[in-house]
Amino acid sequence: MPISASDIQNVVLQEDDFGHEMRVGGIFTNFRFPTINFLPARFKLLQHGGTYIDPVTQKTRQFDYRFHITKRYDDLHNIFLAAECKNLNPDLPLLVCGRPRTDAESYHLFIARGEDEKSRIRKVEGPSSLYKPNDFVGKSLVRLKKKDNKLCSDGDSEIYDKWSQALASSHDLAFGAVYRKPLPKSLAFVMPLVVVPDNSLWTVSYRDNGTLEGSPQQVDQCEFYVDQNLLIGLPFVLTHIHFVTLKGLSQILFELANTDSYKWDKIFSITSSDFIP
């Protein structure tokens, strides 16, 4: 039987990686601001599909999206998103395994550039941080596959490639926040993300004794602890990467669009202190 256009369309809609990437881009570019927000954030798509030099391997790599969010009448507060896209079949989802976040993992850093044209790294920790103690945090990734009609683990190499690209792409965004001219007074937070299709993200949480804490949960977003040092001339660390579905990405953008929300207060907390590793 000859292949029909509808056959090809079904494959493209379900399995084409670039199609998923374009759907992610559609969420970025077609985002609708909350009507209750009188001073919404400014959203700017910085780049789609550019290349960069990996600071560790020195090899040329390609990123998917880089995005910039700031308050509409305030260029002081800046959030940069480094988003990578991974198309997954919801029947063979990504499983993020983890446990409650420890106090040592409960922190994030942002870049503060002062009027003296010098940049400093600021630390927000504990309950004041975006990443609160005892919340679920991912520590291991499992990609599921079917074998003999049963679900089993298929490793994490494909997912690892994507989240390592998100971290490497974040390097350029952080470097630019520190060194780009001119040097206005500003604050900058970098958030790496991996975006997967809806219904393809699950979590499972463990107790300290290795037993499961409840049943596996289907989610739209979760955080994964990475503690990744970025080579930008300052002691800057990306503590977490965000795994999100298309719905989860929309949820994050909705929260960040409301510049009066707790998210901005958490990210640029007044309780922050100089980071001394």
Model confidence pLDDT, tens digit, residues 255-265: 888 777 788 98
Q: Is the pLDDT of residue 48 over 70?
A: yes
Residues 15, 92: Cα–Cα separation, whole Å: 12
Query: What are 54-105's pLDDT values in tens digits?
Result: 766 777 778 899 999 988 777 788 999 999 999 998 888 999 999 999 999 9
Residues 52, 267: Cα–Cα separation, whole Å: 27
What is the percent of the chain with per-residue pLDDT over 90, rounded to a whole number? 49
pTM value is 0.90
Residues 213-231, buried b or exposed e (16+ Cβ, 10 A)? Answer: eeeeeebbbbbbbbebebe
- Give the number of domains in the chain: 1
| Torsion sign, CA atoms 20, 22, 23, 27 | positive
Tokens of 110: 């942002």
Question: By the 8 A CB rule, do 180 and 188 touch?
Answer: no
Question: By the 8 A CB rule, do 249 and 193 touch?
Answer: yes
Question: By the 8 A CB rule, do 123 and 109 touch?
Answer: yes
Query: What are 133-173's pLDDT values in tens digits?
Result: 999 999 999 987 777 777 666 766 778 888 889 999 999 89
Residue 139's CB: how many other CB atoms inside 10 A? 13
Measuring CA to CA, how many Å separate 209 from each of 19, 99, 101, 196, 204?
42, 11, 15, 31, 14
Nearest by Cα to 31 from 263, 266, 258: 258
| Domain membership of residue 16 as a residue range | 5-274
My answer on whether omega of the bond before 182 falls inside 30° of 0, hence cis, is: yes
